Structure 1
Amino acid sequence: MPNQSSRPKFELRPYQKAAIESVYEARARGVKRMVVCLPTGAGKTVIFSQLTAREAQERHVLVLAHREELLEQARDKLDRAMEGRVRVEIEQGARVASPEARVVVCSIRSLREERLKRLIQDRDIGLVIYDECHHATADDNRRVLAQLGAFDPHWRGTLLGFTATTTRGDGVGLDLVFQEIVYTRSILEMVRDDYLVPLRGYRVSTMADLRALTSAGLDFNQDELAEAVDIQERNALVARAIQELARDRRTIVFCVTVAHARNLAAALRLLGIPAATIHGEMKRDDRARTLENFRRGRWQAITNVGVLTEGFDDPGVSCIAMARPTRSQGLYAQCIGRGTRLAPGKEDCLILDFVDLSDLSLVTLPSLFGLPHALDLDGEEVGEARQQLWQLSLDFPGFEIEASEITLDEIKRRAESFDPLTMDINPEVMAISPHAWVSLGSAGLVLHFQRKRDRLSEMLILDSRRRGANKYQVYFDQEEVASFSTVEQAIEAVDYEIRKMGARPAETARDEAPWRHEPPSPKQIEALRALTPPRSATTAGEAVRYLAFARYARKRRFVRPPAR
């Protein structure tokens, strides 16, 4: 690539500069096929325009895209970046780039073998930019990349992919094409730094039944899904929720099929909400006219099937209604990204999750950011909810959220009233053991007893969360001594060892052992006061349970939020 000091006149954001530097650093290390992963609204086109402007001074650049709207957007932004210094043209359908074009924006679907051969014949391709590169693993797209020479070990060019998601609905990994993700930044980091708007969410439960649906890749079979959700009662519920929660927000509604989109638009219009439908089967001019009317406010809501998941730029959108349930995090992230861009007067984006009956985990706004998928944000901002749950996990070690629909306020209430001593032992454990095992929640179990007078010993069974023979690990006074595939096997082994130790261990391991009912020692009282939250105990048995729970119960159930 040419010298990095020659820059077009663009004011880059700090992370855009960092992304560009990461590309050059990776190329210097010999990486030829790389990915930059940035959320929608981060200005990916600005970044590759800068890279293109530098490269086009000495070599040619190809920009690959899938949708017509992406071609036009890329060409316009590249034109501005080039400032008239080099020609930028489109290769698609009837449009053929001239030999003088140093930057060619191509529809990858148009690049049949002979056409691509002609296009690259007299060009020295130094940089191939692949927009929305999560599509790259498809057979015909890999054929295009192979013909460009991207997989040739002696290729002198660089393949640079841009995407908002590195996951695909069919489960195929991008490592089939690319070698390395050289730069990435999350939505929450972008929101924290005021480059994207905060996301608020509501969970709306429906009675549509998805439990009998089959899979297609990592998501549902589309025909079966449409039959399950495109029903009058559900469409009416979706429309009412949009009316009540979105109010005057301009809203994009994601649907399953064209019929579903049309039916939902009709349900919205019945409630007096101006709504239109857009889909891939529409003529180009009709689609452009519909989108322009939506931008100008003639339509408050627009229902669509797939068309607006990529390449649609309308910063004024401030509500996304996910009327299309999905198991694909990649698809979900693409959809909600349509509402994250900054705009004058826009404070946030509202995400409406319509959650149907399913034995499988549907992606929701909370689950996308590592929170319980059944959490109802009830209008809360997801970044703030993440921060609050992180703090709760620190303030109330071992508190675990039940896998059922619940609001943040209810989680707080339960956490504040949580007492480890009230946790029940599994009845199957009580049935096979005479000893006073104590629950550590999902972490495991602990048992205290005396081998010598006035000296406690401890048997600990921890769930390693691994599979197989090493799932449950047994520790005796902090030293690992054995592992088992089931908790029952571990308990039986510990009970056997305690009986072998003699009468005192066996007797003091029982619930009725006198030491458990004696007052706590001054040292135990001091340790209890130092806990978060501070605890008090009336007996030594309660004290050791509190202290064991504080030591071993899992404290961090959520990923630490990015610091400001």
Structure 2
Amino acid sequence: MELRTYQEEARAAIHDEWGKGNKRTLLVLPTGCGKTIVFAKVTEDCVRNGSRVLIMAHRGELLDQASDKIKKATGLTCSVEKAEESCIGSWYRVVVGSVQTLTREKRLKRFSKNYFDVIIVDEAHHCISDSYQNVLQYFEEADVLGVTATPDRGDMQNLGAYFNSMAYEYTLPKAIREGYLCKIQAQTIPLKLDLTGVGMQSGDFKAGDLGTLLDPYLFQIAQEMVKYCIDRKIVIFLPLVKTSQKFRDILNEAGFKAAEVNGNSEDRAEVLQDFQAGKYNVLCNSMLLTEGWDCPSVDCVIVLRPTKVRSLYCQMVGRGTRLFPGKKELLLLDFLWMTERHELCRPANLLASSEDIAKKMTEKIEEAPCPLDLEVVEKQAAEDVIAQREEALAKKLAEMKKRKRKLVDPLQFEMSIQSEDLSGYVPAFGWEMGPPSDKQAKTLEKLGIFPDEIENAGKAAKLLDRLDKRKVDGLTTPKQIRFLESRGFQHVGTWQFDHAKHLIDRIAGGGWHIPKGIVPQEYCPGGDF
């Protein structure tokens, strides 16, 4: 099986991290981008090198899916460590194991501590739980790969307490741009649902309270769906089984062909197959289909189980992002969830790189009378937010440029090169949170960045990587940025090195005066070069 370019890059990056001594590393791929195929190929590489590999998950469907994909992609057969089945004595080098089984002390101690050389954790956002940690700490010498869809910032900080590094991340916007996932359109439905009375449990809204909240609105929601998606193939996520079953009945009365599945459905496989075949056009479920289920023809997702957890929201929406013949886009219907105390995941959070951009996107989507392409909205919102930030920071930057200092303030550098990822950076992994090392500080100072304003090692590492890349790409140095922006030139960080050098040479040759005919605020590099 031939891997896509990003999948091959991910595969190489994982081995590179392990080779550098980062024994616990993460792979982040959006739902629908083939994470199972990537770790199948990594597994094959490890087996070729003589390693024994454990693939661990929390649900039987995920283990079956992994075993099946590994067989198809590599030809390798897996043994099983689950319930009554055991891999002990098997000559197969790959084991798929249930965390519920492996975490039992009696079961775990049947293995020597070095039995597995590599452990791969599917849906890695679960791995900070005690059950996973029992297993991972028992096989503490193994190289570990955690695989997950795009996590939220809170998830990353939690995962960062265990993992050493991020081997590779492929973002949802990039997957859409490069044609591997379908475009997403969002439509806000003007139906207000008040969440202020809903309680919290384990960091998210209580399912029971949400079910009670939704009940009075189900008929109205069904009528709104008739207007917007009667002809689409829809998956709906609800908080409770009884709410899901009630909504199925309401939708059938409204003219849809709706079915419902839950953990106790004896005919679940048959219903899912019938939905896939087109017998039904709506599938209601109470959070059953968030992981391990694929139906690429789904072209509408409705989340009636509001959540603060971005990784969960991405999992739900991910049921509809896969490509399918004749499918033009995924439609997300979003209701006006009213909440005073808690931030809520909305369609904007799928693509936005910061909370400010997400808020601006949500405003634009709510104001629009028709569905909007999330990519287009994100671009517009990002431009608006950057313009607002630049205006707010103008005074601060002006003060920095007047300082009698030869080095560039990091904030000035970030704004000059228009780097959203640097200015919005938050450390996730343990090593990132400590102060910059002496070596980092000295290198940054040597390259023209004032190091005292950099709070942590992660930010220092990102800056150093960016400076290396800018040198390779032939872009301006911090010292060129400092000099030219102190004389009124704008966004020198986006210029080519040679353009900046040519202009500085002209200024020096004229006794350090701006050449006649050049207005710094209006100057466009390259025209006179």
TM-score normalized with structure 1 length: 0.64
Does the residue aligned with 1:173 lie in a helix, a strand or coil? Answer: helix
CA distance in 2, matches of 1:264, 1:444: 55
Alignment-derived partner of residue 246 in structure 1: 229
- 1:418-437 equivalent positions in 2, closer than 5 A: none
Instruction: Report Cα offsets for 1:187-213 as digits up to 9, x if no partner.
Output: 000000001000001112333321122
Structure with bigger strand share is 1
AA aligned opposite 1:189: K
1:27 to 1, 18, 27: 18
**CA shift digits 1:328-363 (9 cap, x unpaired):** 212111111111111122121111112222113321
Change beyond 3 A, Cα 1:130–1:399 = closer
Question: Does the aligned pair in 1 maintain the 2:125–2:155 contact within 8 Å?
Answer: no
Structure 1 pair 443/238, CA: closer, same or farther in 2 (3 Å)?
Answer: farther
SS in structure 1 of the partner of residue 334 of structure 2: strand
Q: CA deviation at 1:255?
A: 0.5
Deviates more, 1:65-74 or 1:25-34: 65-74
**Cα separation, partners in 2 of 1:323 and 1:444, compared to 1, 3 Å:** farther
Equivalent residue, structure 2, for 1:38: 29
| 1:319 Cα deviation after fit | 0.8
User: Aligned partners of 1:127 and 1:253: how far apart in 2?
Assistant: 37
Q: Which structure shows the higher helix fraction?
A: 2
Say if 1:344 and 1:128 are closer, same or farther in 2 by CA, change over 3 A: same
CA contact (8 A) 1:214 1:220 kept: yes
Q: What is the rounded CA distance, in whole Å, between the counterparts of 1:133 and 1:52 in structure 2?
A: 16
Aligned residue for 2:150, secondary structure, equals coil
Moved over 6 A (4+): 168-172, 440-445
Kept after mapping to 2: 8 A contact 1:169/1:331: no
**Aligned counterpart in structure 2 of residue 262 of structure 1, from 235, 238, 245:** 245
TM-score by length of structure 2 reads 0.68
Determine whether 1:160 maps to 2:145.
yes
Q: Which residue of 1 aligns with 2:290?
A: 309
Q: 1:375 aligns to what?
A: 364
1:171 offset after TM fit, Å? 9.1
User: Does 2:199 align with 1:214?
Assistant: yes
Q: Distance in 2 between matches of 1:174 and 1:243?
A: 41
Write the distance in 1 (CA, Å) between the matches of 2:302 and 2:309.
16
Q: What does the per-residue CA deviation read over 1:388-432, in whole Å, with 9 as the maximum and x for residues that have no partner? A: 3345567xx5499xxxxxxxxxxxxxxxxxxxxxxxxxxxxxxxx
Structure 1 pair 393/55, CA: closer, same or farther in 2 (3 Å)?
A: closer
Aligned equivalent of 1:324, options 305, 311, 316: 305
Report the secondary structure of 1:306's partner residue.
coil
Cα deviation 1:426-468 (Å, max 9, x = unaligned): xxxxxxxxxxxxxx789899xxxxxxxxxxxxxxxxxx99xxx
Partner SS state of residue 375, structure 1:
helix
Aligned equivalents of 2:249 and 2:220: distance in 1?
13
- For 1:14 and 1:139, how far apart are their aligned partners in 2? 36
Counterpart AA for 1:106 = G
Change (3 A) 1:257 1:171: farther
Match in the other structure for 1:60: 52
Other-structure match for 1:281: 264
Residue in structure 1 matched with residue 338 of structure 2 by the alignment = 357
Distance 1:344 1:209 in 2: 38
CA distance in 2 between partners of 1:345 and 1:95 (Å) = 43
Task: Give distance in 2, aligned partners of 1:268 and 1:17.
Answer: 44
Provide closer, same or farther for how the CA distance between residues 443 and 122 of structure 1 changes in structure 2, counting only shifts above 3 A.
closer
Contact 2:52-2:115 at 8 Å conserved across structures: yes
In structure 2, the partner of 1:385 is 377
Deviations 1:89-126 (A, max 9, x none): 232223333512211111211222222333x4498422
Where does residue 145 of structure 1 map in the other structure? Answer: 136
User: 2:201 & 2:394 partners in 1: Cα distance?
Assistant: 35
2:79 matches 1:75: no
Distance 1:175 1:441 in 2: 32
SS at match of 2:259: strand
Q: Is the 8 A contact 1:137 1:172 kept in 2?
A: no
Q: Deviations for 1:298-335, whole angstroms, at most 9, x for unmatched residues?
A: 11111111211111111111110011122221211111
Determine helix, strand or coil for the equivalent of 1:176.
coil
Where do 1:75-224 residues align within 5 Å? Answer: 75-83=67-75, 86-97=76-87, 99-111=90-102, 112-118=104-110, 120-121=111-112, 124-149=115-140, 155=141, 157-167=142-152, 173-224=158-209
| CA–CA separation in structure 2 for the residues paired with 1:171 and 1:25 | 21
* C-alpha distance in structure 1 between counterparts of 2:152 and 2:278, whole Å: 34
CA distance in 2, matches of 1:87, 1:192: 35
- 1:339 alignment partner in structure 2: 320
Matched, 1:366 2:351: no
Partner secondary structure for residue 77 of structure 1:
helix
SS in 1 for 2:243: helix
CA distance 1:291–1:444, change in 2 (3 Å): farther
* CA 168–200 in structure 1, closer or farther in 2 if over 3 Å, else same: same
**Structure number with larger C-alpha Rg:** 1
Secondary structure in 2 matching 1:56: helix
Residues 37 and 102 of structure 1, relative CA distance in 2, 3 Å threshold:
same
Give 1:228 deviation, angstroms.
Answer: 1.5
String of CA shifts for 1:57-116, please: whole Å, max 9, x gaps.
Answer: 312111111222211111111112332xx4312322233335122111112112222223
**Cα separation, 1, equivalents of 2:282 and 2:162:** 38
- Give the letter aligned to residue 45 of structure 1: T
The 1:281–1:171 alpha-carbon spacing in structure 2 relative to 1, beyond 3 Å, is farther
Look up the SS of the partner of 1:183 in the other structure: strand
Is the CA contact 1:238–1:323 (under 8 Å) kept in the aligned structure 2?
no
Contact 1:168 1:328 in 2 (8 A): no
Change (3 A) 1:345 1:221: same
Paired residues in the alignment total: 386
Q: What secondary structure sits across from 2:336 in the alignment?
A: strand
AA at the equivalent of 1:277: E
Unmatched runs of 5 consecutive residues or more in structure 2: 353-357, 397-422, 425-488, 490-520, 522-529
Show structure 1 runs of 5+ residues with no match: 1-9, 150-154, 401-439, 446-463, 466-526, 528-550, 552-564
Secondary structure class of the residue paired with 2:117 = strand
**Kindly, what percent of the aligned residue pairs are identical?**
31
Q: Distance in 1 between matches of 2:194 and 2:393?
A: 30
Q: Secondary structure at the match of 2:136?
A: helix
**Cα 1:117–1:282, aligned 2, differ >3 Å: closer, same or farther?**
farther
> 2 CA distance for matches of 1:256 and 1:242?
18
Q: Residue by residue, what CA displacement relative to the aligned partner does 1:156-187 show, whole Å, maximum 9, x if unpaired?
A: x2110100033498897112321111110110
Give the distance between the partners of 1:114 and 1:291, measured in 2 at CA: 37
Query: What is the CA-CA distance between 1:218 and the residue it aligns to?
Result: 3.2
